Chains A and B, each alone.
Chain A
Amino acid sequence: SQTIHQWPATLVQPVGSPLSLECTVEGTSNPNLYWYRQAAGRGLQLLFYSVGIGQISSEVPQNLSASRPQDRQFILSSKKLLLSDSGFYLCAWSGDRGSYEQYFGPGTRLTVT
C-alpha cells in the first residue's frame, strides 16, 4: 500500500531564517505531487505541483520554492521566512493516470516568530 510521510511535524523558525520541508511517498511510482498551505481557519491554497522529476509548477508567487530531486521526494524551501509563511503545510500525491483522488500527508505546522 502507499504511504506518504512529511517531516518535521512541527517547526518554529525566526523571521529571515531558511526553511526546508520534506515529503516522501512510498509504494507508488511516478506520482503527481502537491504542496498546499492552510492558514489558520482557512481553506487549502495550492502552492506547487509536480508531474515528474525536476518538473515544478508554481501556483502562487511568493518567497517559497519547491524541488523534486527524486521520483518520490518533494521538498519545499525558502531562503528567508516571513511572518506570513506561518501555517499548516500539506503534501499530497495522486496517481499519474487512471486514479483521480489526492492522498495527503500528516502535515507540518510552521510557526514563524
Chain B
Amino acid sequence: AQSVTQLGSHVSVSEGALVLLRCNYSSSVPPYLFWYVQYPNQGLQLLLKYTTGATLVKGINGFEAEFKKSETSFHLTKPSAHMSDAAEYFCAVKVSQFYFGTGTSLTVIP
C-alpha cells in the first residue's frame, strides 16, 4: 500500500534560518513525488516535482527537494526562510493515484 508521512505537523523557524520539512513515503513501485504550498483560504500551488532523472529538484520561491530512494524520503528545504514562506505544505506521491500527506504548517518568526 502507498502512503505519505510528513513528520511534524507544525514547524517554526526564524527568519533567515534553514527550512527543512520532512516527507517519507512508502510505495511498491517508483513513485512520482510532489510538494505543494497552500496559503490561507487558497488552493494548493505546486512547488516542485520529481518524476525521473536528477534526484535534486529545484522549485519556485527558492525551495528544493532531494529524492533519496534508499531512505524513501523527499524532504523539502530552503536555505533562508522569509516571512512570506509561512503557509501549509503538503507532500504528495503519485503511483496509480495521488496520495497526500497530512500537511506541515510552517511558521516564520521575525
Q: Say whether, besides A43-B100, A43-B101, A100 and B43 are in contact (CB < 8 Å).
A: no
Contact A100 B90 (CB under 8 A): no
The contact string, 1 if C-beta is below 8 Å from chain A, for chain B 22-45, is 000000000010101000011111
Cβ–Cβ < 8 Å partners of A104 in chain B: 36, 43-45
Cβ–Cβ < 8 Å partners of A42 in chain B: 102-103
Number of interface residues of B (CB under 8 A): 20
Tell me the bound Cα distance from A88 to B92 in angstroms: 19
B51 within 8 A of A: yes
Contact A103 B46 (CB under 8 A): yes
Q: Which one of A90, A102, A106, A109 contacts B98 once the chains associate, using CB atoms below 8 Å?
A: A102
Q: B: which residues have CB within 8 A of A?
A: 32, 34, 36, 41-46, 49, 51, 90, 92, 94, 97-98, 100-103
